[in-house]
Structure formats: C-alpha cells, structure tokens
Amino acid sequence: MTKQNVVVSDAKSGLEITVGLTNTSLFSTTATRKSPIVTISRNNKLLKKLETGVVGVGVGGERINAWVDSMKASSPTHVMSPASFAATVDLRSWILDHPSALQMFEQITNASEGKQIVMFLDYDGTLSPIVNDSDRAFMSESMRRAVRNAARYFPTAIVSGRSRDKVYNFVRLAELYYAGSHGMDIKGPTKSSKYKKGNQAVLFQPASEFLPMINEINKALIEKTKSIPGATVENNKFCVSVHYRNVEEKSWSGLAEQVKSVMKEYPKLKLTQGRMVLEIRPTIKWDKGKAVEFLLESLGFANGNNVLPLYIGDDRTDEDAFKVLRKRGQGFGILVSKNPKDTSASYSLQEPAEVMDFLHRLVEWKRLSLRRRSRV
C-alpha cells in the first residue's frame, strides 16, 4: 500500500488540510487505525483571537476583514464547496478516526458496564434540523418521544446556546435538566424524576450580574443591525446571538462593523462564534463544558468512576464539552456532522435522524439488559 501526504491550503478561509492518500480503500480489510488520517487546521489563531475578543474590539479597519474571514471559516458552506472538499479530503479516513456512534454502539455500551450513562444533548442541529428561521427550529414528535424514553433510563440534560425558556418551549419535557445560554442558566427537572435529588431544585446562574448589561447590548444590537437585511438579533438571556444565515455575504463586513461598534462599549462581554451566528456573552470562564461538570456534580458523580457521560452536539461551542470529557477520561463526545471537522469528539453521527436512532438503540439495549438482569 503506497502512502502520500497532500497538503491543500485554502488561503481565503485560512484552512490547511493535510490528506493522507492510499491506493487501498480505507474500509478494506487491510485498513487499520494506523492509516493516515485527515488533519484539518482551521485558522485557529484567528478564531482564538476573535473568541477572546482581541479581534475588532480595538481600532483599525483591517480587523473587520479578520472578523469576516472568521465568519467564513465558521460557516461550512463557505469553507469549501462540498464537491471540492470531497475531492481533497477522504471522508472515510476521517470516519476511521471518528467512527459512527451507531457502528460503534457495542463498544459504547461495553464501556458503560457498571456505570450510569448520563445523556447531554445539544438542541439545534442535534435534535432539530438547522433552519433559516431560528424561531421555527421545531423538533419532531418522534424525536421528542426518543428523548423522553432516554430520560426514563438515563439522567438527561439539554445543553443549548438558546435561553433556557426558549429551548424548554421547543423540547417541552419537564423531566429533563436544561442548561440554556451556553450553560449559564441551569435548572433541574420540574417534574419528579428518579434522578432528581430529593426535593432540592437545581438552579445555577453564574452570570446573573450580567443580566442588565445583556439586555442593554441586545437593544443596541437590534438598533445597529436593522440596516442589514436578513440580520436577526436573539436575546438568549445570558448571551445575545446575531444570526447572519440570511444575510448576503457582501453585507457581512457591514454587519461585523456594526457589531464591533456596539461591543466597543462593553469590555466585559466577549464574542464567540457558532454556525452562522455571532454570539456575545460575559467574559466569565463558563461554557458548555463547565455546565457538564456542574451537572455531573449535581447528580452525585463528581468523583469516582461510576459514570459514563455521553454528549451529542454539532457546534463549535460543543467542543468545550467534548474537551471536558476527554480531560476527565470519562464518556464520549459525539459530533453531529456530515463533513470532516476538527473536533475533540470521539464518535460521529451524520444528522438528527441518526441521533434519534442512537437514542432508540440505547433505550432498547437498556431495556433488554434490565430484563436479563431481572431473570437472573
């Protein structure tokens, strides 16, 4: 088997992709995990700077270009066209490194031997399809059933960038934990659940002092961005999202300019990026990863090796949670994506329909194992 490494760089998006090519199918019997894998290095410095608020908050017009480049790098449709991406990156080799959670189902359930599985689920793009109108990101009734069933057997939390109220209105299951605003607004089940610790209600809002400031910047952003067709501002309680999914690309720099001018007045807030969204949030060290740690602790799994957390998400902000699981050496991150992405997740699922299959299988497996145990 001959091997060849090819480096493809896309100067526009700042992406550099190293592709290991072989003349043998990576799914053939000779393929092993030693096969060359795809490494994708985004323009990490740029994204980092943007996320720490370095880019654009100061003076200098060239920084707007950096914002726009980063907006392009974070939106999959502009990184590379699917055709050119497929031509340069072998999806199958990426999958070797991030195999399907459905195909690796047995390995996952084997790892849960003697442990309590705890489910963490992102909402948009994980339980619901990504849609142009974020107010209409409804989940299907069959997905709701799948999540409800999962929650019967495993403590289950929804971890979303949206406000807790908003994500609750989409999911409408009172037996779940909800971590809204990227984990800055956490609340335990309101309905009795066997995982609810006594009558003690879990409520945690580490950024409550920022509430007035968030409301203020929300108003300012609505005012400043109303001249940009398609731009929408969403108040997610402890953070504000500026969606540019419906903004023409030629207006992205104008939008970045407006957001930048507002942010200059708020040094205690920082900017992060999601899929087609700029997010403004408090500069506190709190993210979806911290929310996962907090919830595991609330459930009594702070220490010990008796828990297997599974986190399923599709977004850059979910990477904080994937990293926490890797660092703890506990459980698995599962990335929802059809395309190769730089990720700390262990496994992948292609789309929400596969997330639903995975939840069904997990429930079915648990039911069978409980039945088997009751016969012994």
What ranges make up the beta strands (E) of 52-103? none
Least separation in angstroms between CB 91 and Mg ion:
21
Q: Closest CB to Mg ion among 90 and 319?
A: 319
Least separation in angstroms between CB 52 and Mg ion:
22
Spatial CA neighbour of 231 closest among 251, 217, 250, 213: 251
Give dist(CA 9, CA 118) in Å, integer. Answer: 40
Least separation in angstroms between CB 57 and Mg ion:
26
Give dist(CA 239, CA 220) in Å, integer. Answer: 14
Least separation in angstroms between CB 332 and Mg ion:
17
Least separation in angstroms between CB 314 and Mg ion:
4
Are 182 and 287 in contact, with CB atoms under 8 Å apart?
yes
* DSSP designation for 114: T
Q: Closest CB to Mg ion among 279 and 314?
A: 314
Q: Closest CB to Mg ion among 122 and 354?
A: 122
Give dist(CA 43, CA 48) in Å, integer. Answer: 9
Give dist(CA 335, CA 278) in Å, integer. Answer: 21
Give dist(CA 70, CA 68) in Å, integer. Answer: 5
Give dist(CA 315, CA 130) in Å, integer. Answer: 11
Residue with tokens 């190293």: 18
Are 43 and 13 in contact, with CB atoms under 8 Å apart?
yes
Q: Closest CB to Mg ion among 315 and 354?
A: 315
Least separation in angstroms between CB 38 and Mg ion:
22
User: 150: exposed, middle or buried (C-beta count within 10 Å: 0-12, 13-18, 19+)?
Assistant: buried
Sign, CA torsion 86/92/95/99: positive
Kindly report the length of the chain. 376
Q: Closest CB to Mg ion among 129 and 230?
A: 129
User: Can you give the binding site for Mg ion, defined by CB under 5 A?
Assistant: 122, 124-125, 314-315
Are 123 and 158 in contact, with CB atoms under 8 Å apart?
yes
Q: Closest CB to Mg ion among 125 and 180?
A: 125
Q: Closest CB to Mg ion among 64 and 336?
A: 336
Q: Closest CB to Mg ion among 19 and 101?
A: 101
Q: Give pairs for 112-115: CB < 8 Å, separation 24+.
A: 112/308, 114/306, 115/305, 115/306, 115/307, 115/308
Q: Closest CB to Mg ion among 69 and 319?
A: 319
Give dist(CA 237, CA 185) in Å, integer. Answer: 8
Least separation in angstroms between CB 127 and Mg ion:
9
Least separation in angstroms between CB 366 and Mg ion:
25
Least separation in angstroms between CB 333 and Mg ion:
13
